Amino acid sequence: CKKTRARNLIAGVHTDGPKTALRRFEEGYQLCTILNDARLMAMAAAVGIALGGPRTEFRVFAPTTTVPPDAAWPQADWQLTVMAVAANPLLDSPRIVVRPSAHQVQTYRGVRWADRSQELLETAVVDAFEESGRIGAVGRMANTARGDFALFMEVRAFETIYRDGQPEAVIEVQANLVQLRGGSRGGNAVASRRFRQVVPGASPEVDAMVEAFSQALSGMSGELVGWTLTEGNRIRAAGAAESAGK
């Protein structure tokens, strides 16, 4: 094979991936000749992986949450739809983010969350509402009918942050409560608040930090439930008073 073909094949591996590169072999590239170039041995390993060779193993973690109902939470007779998004692409993935310093962002090697950060949050919040028994109905926006209110959450932080050499699980969420039905403010945000949970890790080990995230996510879910119930009832009461005064 000509060197130009080898260069094109390398480009294919970098831009299109090993499966496309393998297809190019079948279209006329001679593998035996290409492998004579030692620089392409790494590419051959990548093709082997595409064909079912060794794969990277990941440990997968899922934070567990426990949110006991608070006696101060009000009862609500309205329905809620919940949706969460990530503020940036790094959080919009199952990678576990860590900040060793204020200006450095990394991810833990060889480990993953069971889901993306916004989906972990969404699941925890929906579960907390269901377990509370304080709301008429709650569901995800992706698979439920529209409720009276929508709780939109943007994950701003879901990461390990080192402070004075000690790791902390940090979850930060911007929450917006939108009235979807009833009243004069339908479709508009009626309440907004930033929430932040910080839980120190018992050690820098991944297992210890997952436990810290479980506690932080539990605390975050409880705060969101209590705030949403209170604000939703406040807006409903204000709407009823406005209607009565007309």
End-to-end CA, the chain: 85
Instruction: Take residue 17 and report the two structure tokens written for it.
Output: 């991936």
Percent of the chain at pLDDT > 90 equals: 64
Q: Which of 173, 141, 175, 169 is nearest to 155 (CA)?
A: 173
Task: Kindly report the pTM of this predicted structure.
Answer: 0.75
| Single-letter amino acid, residue 191 | A
Q: For 56-77, how does the pLDDT look when each residue is reduced to its tens digit (9 = 90+)? A: 688 999 999 999 999 999 999 9
Tell the residue number behind the tokens 């008073």, with chain if given: 241
CA distance 94 to 111: 9
Tokens of 123: 């699941």
Residue 39 pLDDT grade (very low, low, confident, very high; cuts 50, 70, 90): very low
More confident residue, 245 or 177: 177
Retrieve residue 95's tokens. Answer: 């990678």
* Triad 17, 118, 120: Cα angle to 5°: 100
Which pLDDT tens digit goes with each residue over 222-234?
999 999 999 999 9
User: pLDDT-derived band of residue 243, with 50, 70 and 90 as boundaries?
Assistant: low
> Does pLDDT of 17 surpass 70?
no
- Tokens, residue 187: 């479709």
Distance from C-alpha of 72 to C-alpha of 98, rounded to nearest angstrom:
35
- Range 133-152 burial, b when 16+ CB lie within 10 A, else e: ebbebbbebeeeeebbbbbb
pLDDT in tens, 82-119: 999 999 999 999 999 999 998 899 999 999 999 999 99
| DSSP-based three-state secondary structure for 187 | coil
Number of residues assigned to the chain: 246
